[in-house]
Amino acid sequence: MAERAKLIRALKKHTNSWLILGLLGAAVILLPLVPIILGLFKAPNENWQHITQYLLAGYLLNSLQLVALTGFFTVTLGVCLAWLIAAYDFPLRRFFRWALLLPLAVPPYIAAYTYSTMFSYTGIVQKTLRSFDVTPNPKWFGVLSMRGAVFIFTLCLFPYVYMIARSFFERQSGSYIENAMLLGRGPAAVFFRVALPLARPAIAGGVALVVFEVLGDYGVTSYYGVHTISTAIFQTWFGMYDVDSAIRLAAYLMIGTVGLFLVERWVRRNRRFSSSTSKMRPLAPRRLKGGWSWAAGLFCGSVFAWSFLFPVVQLGVWASWTFESVFTPAFGELIIRTVSLALLATVIIMFFAVIVANLHRTNANPFTSALSRWVTAGYSVPGAIVAIGVLACFIGLDRVLAPFYAVLGLGKAPLVLSMSLVMLVVAYVVRFMATGFNAVEAGFERVGTKFTEVSRTLGFGMTRTFLRVDLPLIKGAIFSGIVLTFVEIVKELPLAMLLRPFNFETLATKAYQYANDEKIFEAAVPSLLIIGVSMIAVYVLNQVGKEAGE
């Protein structure tokens, strides 16, 4: 009896518009995953037999190979660079410190067609070699393969590992490393015996981002003809028109990524503990001497050149050739449409992100922490899964709404919602909620709950407190959340490719379309625009990192 009264009291206490809106946001994110989970329980069709017998093993192997190789190379490159920048001083170090983040502004699919053209027989690399009378075997440059995909992913994605590992080395490892040095260990021993083991959780966090990105990729793998589970989903869907099998494939992929997600959590389970033990002394970089310092500078310089400078300059040259023919009024319209679509989705994301983050912060209990974990799960779900889930949902919704459409005189069983932009917006919300949420949560964490509690005791409810106190204090965090989310959406390819209404293009799909039609030079203009917008996000990321360090 007393327990029941208490339960009712708790329900009354917590039920407000914030909770209801938070649950609504969670439902939006849950719905697209329902058809996929249900798909596992349906009886498989004949096609599925064929897929498992002849194709699945190959897809699976390719996916695993891609993930393993990219993971290995991004970790090697990212950690080496992070350690070099954090522990040593050499010419141009301060420039490279942030410039090595810039490759994040180049979406892998853009790097993919840029590099494949640069390395082709008529591309700049082979041409230059021939002008020196070197005629290489064109086979050496065959990037259209697994090798090429790994190369592209490594160049574009290593900054995730670099960024997280560097900030860990700079902020948290100082006293341990100085201690190790005082104990007379050489630089190699310090790196392998102290720095690397300490940084393992941070590195795991970075490589998890890389893996999710690779598993979710559509642009690079399909352009390079590497068949992975993700591309297989698209193929069974659009090539064989077999949605059921596509859903089943998506379900398997999801089980895999959920597993990875849990492993990542498990590896990082002590992260909070390790960072809160005490105030850590920052690591003071040591000067490198003579040849070593030039070698370090050269190494950073060549990574920067290959991952950012070369492709961007090449795109710039191509863009200057085609600018006039591409930049028509219709293209201007395309930009406006892309921006407004991204803004709309961003606003919705930030709205729910703020609601759930504030709920979790003011009522920290198992329910709200499950809620916040739930809304951020989308970033680990590959685009192909989100796309097919959203589509299945909306087709179902159209079926349910059919009598209503009939009343409106739209005809018998029309596809209204599933032919509209609503679907794409929902997919963006599912996929990128985490980006907005993490930014908002970081802002709330910095402010704490003190001011909110003061405001509550002064007679302001949750909503008024949020508007008068919390919002002004976290507006910087909300702003960076808006920028980061907006940019993610602008450069997003697979969801837009799959869910856009007929004849609707975004900058990303336009660029990809050009590239697919072998109009690489035309693709350069939208590509550069996307890279330009993404550079703003890199700047914001860098700023956020600085603030967090203060």
Partner 1 sequence: MSVVDVKNVSFAYAGNRVPVIQSLSFSVDERAIVGILGASGSGKSTLLRIIAGLETPCEGSITIAGRTVVDARTFVQPENRGVGMVFQDYGLFPHLTVAQNITFGLHRLPREQRQKRLAAMAELVQLEGYEGRFPHELSGGQQQRVALARALAPQPSILLMDEPFSNLDAALKQSIRQELSDILRRAKMTCLLVTHDEQDVEAICDRTLRLS
Whichever of 145 and 365 has its CB closer to partner 1, that residue is: 365
Distance in Å, CB of 90 to partner 1, minimum:
39
The residues that touch partner 1, with contacts defined as CB under 8 A, are: 2, 5-6, 8-10, 12-13, 364-365, 450-451, 453-461, 464, 468-469, 472-473
Distance in Å, CB of 366 to partner 1, minimum:
8
Residue 118's Cα: distance from chain center in Å?
26
**For residue 531, which of 327, 330, 310, 351 has the smallest C-alpha distance?**
310
Distance in Å, CB of 286 to partner 1, minimum:
37
Whichever of 147 and 468 has its CB closer to partner 1, that residue is: 468
For 246, list phi and psi in degrees, rounded to 5.
Answer: -60, -45
Whichever of 410 and 473 has its CB closer to partner 1, that residue is: 473
Q: How far apart are CA 391 and CA 233, in angstroms?
A: 13
Whichever of 370 and 458 has its CB closer to partner 1, that residue is: 458
Whichever of 9 and 42 has its CB closer to partner 1, that residue is: 9
List all residues 6 or more positions away from 257 whose beta carbon is below 8 Å from its beta carbon.
212, 215, 380, 381, 382
For 46, list phi and psi in degrees, rounded to 5.
Answer: -65, -40
Distance in Å, CB of 22 to partner 1, minimum:
18
Per DSSP, 268 falls in state: T
Whichever of 3 and 324 has its CB closer to partner 1, that residue is: 3
- The secondary element (H helix, E strand) that includes residue 22 is helix 17-30
Q: How far apart are CA 438 and CA 477, in angstroms?
A: 9
Distance in Å, CB of 472 to partner 1, minimum:
5
Whichever of 362 and 506 has its CB closer to partner 1, that residue is: 362
Residue 284's Cα: distance from chain center in Å?
32
Does residue 89 sit in helix, strand or coil? strand
Q: How far apart are CA 350 and CA 437, in angstroms?
A: 7
For 235, list phi and psi in degrees, rounded to 5.
Answer: -65, -45
Q: How far apart are CA 178 and CA 189, in angstroms?
A: 12
Distance in Å, CB of 277 to partner 1, minimum:
20
Distance in Å, CB of 94 to partner 1, minimum:
31
